[in-house]
């Protein structure tokens, strides 16, 4: 069904789509992600005054067939079809795919796990498991995040770190709606502000800014010119109110002299209590 829809929208990657084609593509994207939209809107709950979210995995298990149907739809998209979309639609697809397959991985053992790390072995990582049929290959979660998103040179989008969700309390919130190309800019900006304003993960105190370990692990992604930022300090200045940076700390950040400490990461399962 979806292959037929998207084949009708295919065009050469270097061509400029017409307005009609863009409208049709947006409608097709909405249809593609509608099952994911249902699942996260029904079974993901905002917590911590809306700064983060938790998943009702028991309810997700009851809707497991719908999740698996959605994953099958994603798997049917070919590389040619994917390459024909605009970059926002591509990125929305990859973020949704990462989040949905992360949830599927949890459900393989739930409720007998306390952390996604329980799904790895002594010398193996759950993120390196190749179990995802996507864009013509069998991939891992790391393949989606680090090769297709971060390593593709297509996107230069550090805000994906506040959108992809690793099923852990330390992660940014799993968004309660599907990502779509048409809304991606708004959604990524909202997720970034949501995460930075969560004072259990990021906060300023005195002369020091305490940040999630995400900024330590992926620090280079925040130095590649997004919004003109060439450092973590400069990136934080794009969202000073979310982090509640005082005028003095903003001045320090402008000089790229912030004293930054990184917080421990909580790998406990983000299960609704």
Within-domain flag for 272: no
Where is average pLDDT lowest: 26-35, 103-112, 225-234? 26-35
In a domain, 76, yes or no: yes
Q: Does some domain include residue 98?
A: yes
Specify the pLDDT at position 10: 38
Distance (Å, rounded) from C-alpha 198 to C-alpha 173? 10
Within-domain flag for 168 = yes
121 part of a folded domain: yes
Q: For residue 227, is it within any domain?
A: no
Q: What is the pTM of this model?
A: 0.90
Residue 3 pLDDT more than 90?
no
Cβ-count burial 150-188 (b if 16+ within 10 Å, e if not): beeeebebbbbbbbbbbbbbbbbbbbeebbbbbbbeebb
CA pair distance 17, 108, nearest whole angstrom: 41
In-domain check, residue 115: yes
Q: The tokens of 154 are what?
A: 């297509």
Neighbouring-strand partners of residue 45 = 54
Number of domains in the chain: 1
Residue with tokens 């698996």: 68
Cβ neighbourhood burial of 216 (10 Å; 0-12, 13-18, 19+): middle
pLDDT of residue 269 exceeding 70, the answer is yes
Q: For residue 149, is it within any domain?
A: yes
Give the model confidence (pLDDT) of 49-77 as tens digits: 999 999 999 999 999 999 999 999 999 99
| 212-225 pLDDT per residue, tens | 999 999 999 999 99
Q: Say if residue 262's pLDDT is above 80.
A: yes
pLDDT above 90 (res 6): no
Range of the structural domain that residue 180 is part of: 28-198
């Amino acid at each position: 069904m979806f292959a037929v829809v998207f084949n009708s929208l295919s065009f050469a990657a270097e061509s400029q789509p017409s307005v009609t084609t863009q409208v049709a593509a947006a409608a097709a994207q909405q249809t593609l992600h509608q099952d994911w939209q249902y699942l996260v809107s029904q079974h993901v709950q905002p917590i911590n005054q809306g700064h983060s979210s938790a998943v009702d995995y028991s309810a997700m298990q009851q809707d497991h067939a719908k999740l698996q149907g959605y994953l099958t739809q994603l798997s049917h998209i070919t590389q040619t079809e994917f390459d024909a979309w605009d970059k926002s639609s591509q990125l929305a697809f990859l973020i949704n795919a990462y989040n949905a397959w992360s949830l599927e991985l949890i459900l393989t053992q739930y409720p007998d796990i306390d952390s996604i790390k329980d799904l790895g072995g002594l010398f193996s990582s759950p993120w390196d498991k190749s179990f995802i049929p996507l864009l013509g290959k069998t991939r891992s979660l790391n393949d989606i995040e680090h090769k297709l998103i971060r390593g593709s040179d297509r996107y230069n989008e550090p805000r994906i770190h506040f959108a992809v969700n690793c099923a852990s309390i330390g992660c940014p919130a799993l968004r309660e709606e599907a990502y779509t190309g048409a809304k991606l800019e708004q959604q990524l900006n909202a997720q970034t502000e949501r995460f930075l304003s969560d004072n259990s993960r990021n906060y300023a105190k005195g002369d020091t800014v305490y940040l999630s370990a995400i900024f330590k692990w992926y620090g280079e992604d925040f130095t590649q010119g997004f919004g003109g930022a060439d450092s973590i300090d400069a990136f934080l200045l794009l969202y000073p109110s979310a982090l509640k940076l005082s005028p003095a700390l903003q001045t320090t950040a402008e000089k790229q002299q912030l004293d930054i400490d990184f917080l421990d990461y909580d790998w406990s399962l983000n299960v609704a209590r």
